[in-house]
Each structure stands twice: as structure tokens, then as C-alpha cells.
Amino acid sequence: MRVLIPNPLRSYTREAAAVTASGTTLDELTLDLDRRFPGMRFRIVDEQRQIRPHVKFFVNGSQQRDLGAPLADADEVMIVCALSGG
Amino acid sequence: MAKAGSSKGGATLLVATRKGLWQVKSDPARRRWRVAGPQFLGHVIHHCIADPRNSRTVLAAARTGHLGPTIFRSTDRGKTWHEAKQPPAFREGSGRVVDHTFWLTPGHASQPDVWYAGTSPQGLFRSTDRGATWQGVEGFNEHPSRKAWCGGDQDGTPDGAKLHSVLIDPREPKHMYIGMSSGGVFESTDGGADWRPLNRGVRADFLPQPDPEYGHDPHCVRLHPALPDRLYQQNHCGIYRLDRPGERWQDIGASMPKSVGSIGFPIVVHPRDPDTLWVFPMDGSKVWPRVSPGGRAAVYRSVNGGQSWQRQARGLPATQAWLTVKRQAMCADAGDPAGVYFGTTSGEIWASRDEGRGWKCIAAHLPEIYAVETA
């Protein structure tokens, strides 16, 4: 499926803004992303398998807070990083 | 541990900031300085340190505001960097999450591939491959008393509870000390398999019981490389010295001028003389402003193990200088005379090429400085 990569993570994707990865859940998707782009998962998912506080996942435009959320090949996943303050 | 940063050929400072990493390099006389960088612009760099066993290796602890923590490694003196394959992380199922790696320490000289990392919240990690992968030191992280020593992960201070000051005895790699804010100073004699508190004599006047076994707030602890039985600490409640095998810290902050006090964050030992050390006093009154007392910035040096202190302010602004220096942001090089350096949260680096007698601002307008180390 198509995964849209935010700017802060593009150092892992050789600056690609969109990549292809697979998985039947968000958890599997982030594991596959990590296989393709080593190190990426731990920046967005912590060691207790929780999405990090300032990282959001949108599946076909709807936010998913649970890594167990199911995915289909035709889905589009967008990763968003939120930053505020100086 | 041998200190990097011989002044031969000049000194190099690794300057870790809230917004990236800079290197500040001098001529051989340490008179002229050049600022190079940034690297990792926008990354929060809590600590960057060169390996005294192999000066080509440099490690940096990084995260960003939104992304999780990681470690970057260089094997060419900081020219190029690679991310650790497995950064410090608590055991899955432990319920604990590393917010950031706060402190990096190269291991014993006889273990050239070993590094240690201290994290926020308090965790201790070891790498046996020069920082590529990290494993928890479970003798500490899973110690049945850890929660009693440190409190819960939500009990920390506003910037997060920290494990810092990982000290390795240069005579025995299994003999280690750590400092924790909060928690206190702890010692292991078996390579980290077990730990015990080492805080007798240190006040903890913020606790209901002012003389507890643990729960103290050491800000920075140093072991003298030439006399490893000599420890110094700048604590939330003063300045202390411990001579092992003694168990009771002596209050050496009591000899500081009362108008200045004995509060601060960093403490720096001389590269050769165990009796010489420096502190950067800050205002710890009322709501803890943590700036130079009265706006009169000064370093204080002792040359007799803390029996007495001399003010060292020549070259520093005499008034309206409200400087804050964090616990990793002050260091000395191995030159003779030793160079002493500190970085401020207002982005200035001050240098002395004569052991603190005179000071010169060698860089300004940097982001908030978290750590300054010689390379």
C-alpha cells in the first residue's frame, strides 16, 4: 500500500515523500517499513508498541490510534508528525 | 578515565544543543576559535562525546520534538554519522519508555567496544559494539528496589528524571558509579549486576526525612582519573567530596561564600590534580532561578579539594549576566595549563586557557546549550 512519509522521516526514505509497504495492521506496516528503512519504526512507535505521542496515523483520511487497526492493500496511510513551540 | 582533549594542535569542543550539534575548534594556543556546523540541525542533542580510547569514534544522543530517541555514531571524528541499529529501549512489557538518552560514557580502557548510556527516565544501557546496538543493564533496570530508589517514571522533574554521571573505575571495569536525579548516587562492584546506594552525608532537604538512604538529587558526579578513590558531586543540596573506601560524603560547599551559595549543576575536575575542581554557582533560593547569583557570573575553583574556593570572573560580564550552565555543559581539556569551558542556556561558550583565571567568549548566538565536551 502507499504510505505518505512526513518530512522528519524522509532521511530514512532517501527523501521519498511516498513509499510502498505492506501489512495487515498498522503494527505490521511499521515493521515492514522498518525492514525497508531501518530505524524508522522506533522513531514513531515506542518499545511498548505504542504510537509515540506526537505521531499520528491516518488511514484513508481517518485517524487511527491503535496499531492493531486492520489494513487492506488498497489503503493509503499517511504519517503525520506534530510539533509546536519554539 | 583518560580525558580526551589534549591541547596539542588545539582543542575541539563538541557542543550539544537543543537544536543541533556544533564543533568549536581552536588554534594550537587556544586563543582563536572557529565555530563549525551545525550538524543534525533541529535535533535535540543531549550529549555528544568522543571516545578517548579511539578518538575517531564519536557518539551523539539525539531525538526531535516529535520523533523518538536514537543514537548517532561517527567513526571519522564527527564528519559523517550513522544511526544505531538498536538504540536504548526498555524491555517490551516493562511498561517503561525511554524518552531520551541523556548521558553517554565510553567504557573501560580494557573494553574498547563498550559504551554506557543513561536515560530519562532513569535507565542504564550498555553497548558492546561501539554504540551500534544497546542492551539494558538489567541489574539496574530490573532491580527490585529501582522504583523505590527512583520513584515512578511520572514522578520526575519538569525536564524528566535522569540517569547521569556513569563513572567507570579506571582500575577495575566492574566497579561503577551512577548518579540519578532523582535517586542519588549508586555503586556497583560486579559490572552492573547489583547496585547499592552511596549517599551518606548528603542532604536531601526537599524530602520529609532530610538524611535518607536514597532519593537524593545529585546534579553531576565526577571521579578523578588520577585518583579514582576521589569523587566529587554538585548536588541539589550543595557540593560534596567522597574519599573511598569511605562511605560518608563531606560537605565542601559549606566553604563557599554565603552570598553565592553552593547550588549549581556542573562540577569539573582537573585533568591531573585531584585537589583542583571547578563549579558554576547558581541561585537556588526561593523558586530556584538557576542563574548566576545576583547576575554576577563567576566560576569558583578550589585547589585544595574543596576546603576553600576562589572566585574566577575576569573577563566575564560583571553585572546583568544571568547565566545558566547545565550539568554536562562544563568541562576541562588535558592541556597544561588546563583549558576550562562552559556553555550557557543562552547559547554562549566561554573559554579559559589558564585554568579559570581569565575568560573569553568564543561563541555566541547558538541554541540552548546542553553539553560541552572536549574531543
Is the ipTM of this structure higher than 0.90? yes
Q: What total of structural domains would you count in chain B?
A: 1
Omega before B292 cis (within 30°)?
Answer: no
Residue of B nearest to A35 (CA): B85
Q: What CA–CA distance (Å, rounded) separates B267 from B274?
A: 13
Task: Identify whether B2 is part of a domain.
Answer: no
pLDDT exceeds 50 at position B94: yes
Residue B108, C-alpha cell as written in the block: 573501560
Task: Identify whether B7 is part of a domain.
Answer: no
What pLDDT digit, counting tens, does each position of A45-67 carry? Answer: 999 999 999 999 999 999 999 99
Q: Which residues of B touch A7 (CB under 8 A)?
A: none
Rg of chain B (C-alpha set): 19
Q: Are B286 and B293 in contact (CB under 8 A)?
A: no
**pLDDT, chain B, mean:** 95
Could you tell me which of B269, B359, B273 has the C-alpha nearest to residue B312?
B359
User: Where does the pLDDT of residue B153 fall: very low under 50, low under 70, confident under 90, or very high at 90 and above?
Assistant: confident
Average pLDDT rounded to a whole number, residues B224-238:
97
- Shortest distance, CA B92 to any CA of chain A (angstroms): 5
Average pLDDT rounded to a whole number, residues B172-177:
98
Residue B137, C-alpha cell as written in the block: 543493564
Helix (H, G, I), strand (E, B) or coil at B141: helix
The residue whose grid cell reads 532561578 is: B289
Q: Are B276 and B286 in contact (CB under 8 A)?
A: no
B68–chain A Cβ distance below 8 A for any pair: yes
pLDDT (0 to 100) of residue B6? 53
Domains along chain A with CATH numbers: 2-81 (3.10.20.30)
- Shortest distance, CA B217 to any CA of chain A (angstroms): 28
Residue contact B65–A50, C-beta within 8 A: no
Which candidate from A39, A46, A54 shows the least CB-CB separation from B66?
A54
Q: What CA–CA distance (Å, rounded) separates B307 from A18?
A: 64
Helix (H, G, I), strand (E, B) or coil at A55: strand
Span between the terminal Cα atoms of chain A, in Å = 35
CB pairs < 8 Å spanning A and B = 55
Q: What is the CATH number of the domain that holds B62?
A: 2.130.10.10
Helix (H, G, I), strand (E, B) or coil at A28: helix
Task: Identify whether B82 is part of a domain.
Answer: yes
Q: What CA–CA distance (Å, rounded) separates B315 from B357?
A: 9
pLDDT (0 to 100) of residue B8? 67
**C-beta neighbour count of B288 within 10 angstroms:** 11
Task: Identify whether B294 is part of a domain.
Answer: yes
B83–chain A Cβ distance below 8 A for any pair: yes
pLDDT exceeds 90 at position B158: no
- Shortest distance, CA A70 to any CA of chain B (angstroms): 22
Q: State the residue range of the domain holding B339.
A: 12-374
What pLDDT digit, counting tens, does each position of B12-58 carry? Answer: 999 999 999 999 999 999 999 999 999 999 999 999 999 999 879 99
- Shortest distance, CA B255 to any CA of chain A (angstroms): 40
B154–chain A Cβ distance below 8 A for any pair: no
pLDDT (0 to 100) of residue B1? 36
Q: Which residues of B touch A47 (CB under 8 A)?
A: 89-92, 96-98
